[in-house]
Amino acid sequence: MPEPDPIPSPRHSMMQRFWRIFRLLAVLSIVIAGIAVALVTAGAGEVHASLIIATALGVGLTVLLGSGLMVLMFLSSESGHDEAAGGSSSDKEDPQ
């Protein structure tokens, strides 16, 4: 008799969603860093390689860090851990 497919754990499916979204955001941060480098090099004057590298790394990693933290916040909110840690909203009401 065939056995049914195992049900994936919520943790495993959440990690899959995180990495799928994170890969898309990594591509987005590379594109934004490329745009920033293009804008810096289009400016007037001489541009050194160190400026281009610093701009690409600074902008790319900043966008990647910010978007990664937003993804983690979204997934944490969606998983229900925030409600369990914060208690119910009726506990915080004034009894007046």
What distance lies between CA 7 and its chain's CA centroid? 27
pLDDT number for residue 3: 79
b/e code 11-41 from CB counts within 10 Å (16+ = b): eeeeeeeeeebeeebeeebeebbeebbeeee
Residue, of 29 and 78, whose pLDDT is higher? 29
The pTM of the whole model exceeds 0.75: no
pLDDT number for residue 23: 92
pLDDT number for residue 92: 56
pLDDT number for residue 24: 93
10 has a pLDDT exceeding 90: no
* Residue 30 and residue 57 in contact, taking contact as beta carbons nearer than 8 Å: no
C-alpha to C-alpha distance for 81 and 87, rounded to whole angstroms = 10
C-alpha to C-alpha distance for 11 and 39, rounded to whole angstroms = 41
pLDDT tens readout for residues 29-76: 999 999 999 999 998 688 899 999 999 999 999 999 999 898 888 888
**Angle at alpha carbon of residue 46, lines to 31 and 40, rounded to 5°:** 20
pLDDT number for residue 40: 92
